[in-house]
Amino acid sequence: MSTKNLRIISRLDVKGGNVIKGIQFECLRVMGLPLELANNYYLGGADEIIYIDTVANLYGRSKLVEIVKQTSAKIHIPLIVAGGVRNLKDIEDILKAGADKVAINTAATKNPNLLKEASKIFGSQCIVSSIETKKINTKKWEAYVDSGREKTNLDVIDWTKKVQDLGVGEILLTSVDRDGTESGLDEELIEEVSKKTHVSLIVSGGIGRPKDYLNCIKKYKVDGIAAGTIFHYNKFTINNIKEFLLQNNEKINMRITKSKLKVNTDAKKKYDIDDYNKYSFNQMRNEKLKVKNVRIYKALDKSEKDFEVGVINYGINNLQSVKKAFERISIKSKWINTPEEVIRSKALVLPGIGTFEYGMKGLKKKKLIDAIKHKVLEGTPLLGICLGMQLLFTESEEYGLFKGLNLIPGRVVKFKDSDSNIKIPHMGWNQINPKNKSWKDTIIKNINTKKNYFYFVHSFFSKPDKEEHILATSTYGKNEFCSVVQYKNILGCQFHPEKSGETGLDMLKEFSINLTKK
């Protein structure tokens, strides 16, 4: 049996601006404010946070967008958001607010094609099928919507198969019968669903003690376990759970964090760290990249340069979380939409969620490609994140064959599902292994490779033509893939540093260090 990664997830059900909790979604009590509880769980070691608007479908709207904006400014782990998602625009709004994944229930049961369309545009790794269940017979459950209030006449096992065929990258399975009871997970349900699941599976409903986690992961192919009651009532901390699991199962690989992380409240603080990169303008002149038809855009007045890092907005990327991560480390950043703003930036970040095709279409539509290549030739630092890293390469095979920015020679390819021990997408916390001998002079120089974890969520990965461009690799099943790349002043990471807790913020500090010294 191979080592298994598991995510311990905090679930926050929201109603009217408060976190609430009941039993089987009834007899609700107010637990506190969403932002305060989410921050406590972040500091306490949660691997993800789930927000669910429990009354969004009742009123035809969700109030979570503003809550997500506030939360993504303060916590730097992944957010799953559910409730009131009706169409592609709702998904886009939630992702732009700072969420990493959107869970869909009611709208999907009424229009299953929404899952297919959303997965094609935003990527399967962003789309979660939320399935609420009630038992109706032995080994038979019905899917419900509206927080367990309304029947769908859909068999849960059949529906599980269908949503995967439609392209979702994750399933959030909730037992309404067990919710809030602390009587243990519905293992019969989990057993039947997990046998039919080839994507990431999160289970929820009934957790009451650490042993419930242990029983579940020993028996079933579960990737995350979400709970609310035991955390809201302070019966156990998240790190209590993790330590118990590590002591009782040597096959678990789990991210452990400090119980209390130090938060920087000094907005004027600058970080004094050695230069991470050895490139120079002279080096760039001597080793020019091949860029055709570069148009020099007129930069605006120096007095208008009120930001340092330009976070490139090409339409479907998660800008809010990246911008807030830079604010957290006292670096001025701005969402940029035009070639002129690209030219004004001291450093560029190409964030990303979604598919390769739509990413390149977004850059072309906004006429940003020539400006980005020009800045790279000038020696401006450029960091690509997740899809943003993949866009740096020559081409991708995602949903066809598409040309990339061609800033780093290489291709983007898919994980092979011939490895039966893995699920695609690769979703969760993983470690990196430095490969290049000069990695100590780079953005990963302060990483403790034995202890530090980063958040990955992807089905495709980059294969540079030259191994010397690979700074670090990660392992998923039998696959060793490039997780950090550097070619002169161009850097990329397949994971999300802005969602990788304090370790990820440390990497962004390293990327920004030249800016703080100017």
- Residues with active-site annotation: 13, 132
Q: Which residues pair with 256 in a beta bridge?
A: none
The kind and range of the H/E element at 15 are strand 7-15
Q: Helix and strand tally (H, E) in the chain?
A: 18, 28
**b/e per residue, 443-454, with b = 16+ CB within 10 A?**
bbbebeeeebbb
Q: Which of 193, 59, 184, 125 is nearest to 387 (CA)?
A: 125
Q: Pairing relation of β-strands 18-23 and 26-32?
A: antiparallel
Q: Mutual orientation of helices 88-97 and 64-72 as an angle, nearest 10°?
A: 30
Amino acid at site 20: I
The candidate with the shortest Cα–Cα distance to 209, out of 195, 227, 191, 222, is: 227
Q: Are 316 and 351 in contact (CB under 8 A)?
A: no
Q: Which helix (H) or strand (E) holds 364?
A: helix 356-365
Asked if 505 contacts 328 with a C-beta cutoff of 8 angstroms, the reply is: yes
Structure tokens at 208: 């009451």
Long-range contacts from 187-190, C-beta under 8 angstroms, 24+ separation: 187/215, 187/216, 187/219, 187/220, 188/139, 189/133, 189/135, 189/141, 189/156, 190/216, 190/220, 190/222
Q: Dihedral sign for Cα 264, 269, 275, 279, please.
A: positive
Sorted by sequence, the CB contacts under 8 Å of residue 417 that are 6+ apart come out as 198, 424
The whole-angstrom separation of Cα 469 and Cα 452 is: 22
* Among the listed residues 425, 402, 341, 423, the one whose alpha carbon sits nearest the alpha carbon of residue 375: 341
The upper half-sphere exposure of residue 87, i.e. CA atoms within 13 Å in the direction of its Cβ, equals: 3
Long-range contacts of 392-400 (CB under 8 A, 24+ apart): 392/350, 392/462, 392/485, 392/490, 392/492, 393/462, 393/464, 396/356, 396/460, 397/460, 398/355, 398/356, 398/357, 398/459, 398/460, 399/120, 399/355, 399/356, 399/357, 400/357
CA 8-64-323 angle, to 5 degrees, is 80
